[in-house]
Each structure stands twice: as C-alpha cells, then as structure tokens.
Amino acid sequence: MIRAMLGYVRVVDAVNYRIGRIMMWGLFAMMGVLLWSSISKTFFLPSLWTLEMAQFAMVTYYILGGPYSIQLGSNVRMDLFYHNWTIRRKAWFDSFTVLALIIYLAILFYGGLGSTAYSLGYWGDNPFAFFWGLLTGAESIGYIERSSTAWRPFVWPIKSIMVVGFLLMLLQAISELFKDIARIHGHDIPSERDA
C-alpha cells in the first residue's frame, strides 16, 4: 500500500512541481500585458483586450500555481498550537483538513466541468456525458459562449484552464493525504522539492 502511495505521490508531485515552476514565469506575461495596456492608453488608442487578457493571465497563474503552493505548504495556516505538536499529531490533523479540501475541490471540479460544457453550448445536466460524447463523436459543440465585454473573447479556454487547475489541485490534495497517512504510520514520503 505504501509503495502505491509513494508512486502516486512521486508522479503527482513531479507534474505539479514542474507546472508550478513554469507558472512562476506567468507573472511576467501578466506584467507585460499590463505594461502594454499602460503604454497604449498613454500614447495610442487604448487596447480593448488588455484588461481582460490580464485577468485571464492572473487566473491561469493562480489556478495552475495552486497545486505547487499546496505542495510547498505555503498556504496560510493558523499556527497557535500546531507548531508545538508532534509530527504524528500534525499528520492526523492535516489528514482531516485535507479531506475537507478534497471534498471542496471535487465540487469545484464538477462545477467547472458543467460551466465549461455550458460555454461550449451544452445545456444538459451531465457534463461527463457531454465530454464523453465529444470524444466519441456522439455530441457536437453548440453555441459557444463569449464574454459580454467589448472585446468579446470566447470563455471556454479560460474555463478549461480552471478545470485543469482544479483537477491538478485535487490530485495534489490526495497526494498530501497520502503523505499524512504515511506519517501517521511512521513513514516519510519525500516530496519532489526534497529530491
């Protein structure tokens, strides 16, 4: 059992570590868009796309960087008593809190799938069937949702990124649960950053 958990943790941590390191550079992309927005507003006609593109870049940066943040333990924690606890007691407490996180992320993932399916023109109540139908050719894309701003971009790309981010965070939360279970049983599973 510990071997399977170790394999899962290694794969998920490696994927999320690499994506997180890449997303660190996404901040510069967002800064570039905002810099162009300032320059165009000052010297040229203002660009319609810059503000919304910066928002999309921020969502991508935040959502795809979330699993990396979970992996590093850089989330905010109320640390009144926690720092004095033993490793095993911390693992017990963390395992309960990460279970709540897993439930929350599963709900977000399902809602994100439904929202993405809606943005692709599906008005039903089973997004899994819609995406399976797209893969098998039984479903087709309908009216594609656009933003209501002046630029009017399609919203399915950013919704898809959010779904991928929620899935990666869910997988990372399960990885953290496996690490806590291993600590409770006296094992220590090294993370990607320790390698």
Give tens-digit pLDDT for 161-170. Answer: 999 999 999 9
What pLDDT was estimated at residue 174?
Answer: 96
Separation of alpha carbons 67 and 166, rounded Å: 9
Separation of alpha carbons 65 and 67, rounded Å: 6
For the chain, which residues score pLDDT lower than 50? Answer: none
**Of the candidates 53, 159, 179, the residue with the CA atom closest to the CA atom of residue 108:** 159
What pLDDT was estimated at residue 194?
Answer: 55
What pLDDT was estimated at residue 150?
Answer: 85
Separation of alpha carbons 22 and 136, rounded Å: 32
**Of the candidates 103, 123, 126, 117, the residue with the CA atom closest to the CA atom of residue 173:** 103
**Of the candidates 169, 186, 191, 192, the residue with the CA atom closest to the CA atom of residue 2:** 186
Return the sign of the alpha-carbon dihedral for residues 111, 167, 165, 116.
negative
What pLDDT was estimated at residue 193?
Answer: 54
Cβ-Cβ contacts under 8 Å for 65 (sequence gap 6 or more): 20, 23, 24, 26
Q: Tokens 């943005």 map to which residue?
A: 119
What pLDDT was estimated at residue 3?
Answer: 82
Burial class (CB in 10 A: 0-12, 13-18, 19+), 135: exposed
Separation of alpha carbons 143 and 120, rounded Å: 6
Mean pLDDT of the chain: 90
- pLDDT one-digit tens code per residue, 134-156: 999 988 888 899 998 888 999 99
What pLDDT was estimated at residue 191?
Answer: 60
Helices (H) and strands (E) in the chain, counts: 6, 0
What pLDDT was estimated at residue 96?
Answer: 94
Q: Of all helices (H) and strands (E), which one includes residue 53?
A: helix 50-72
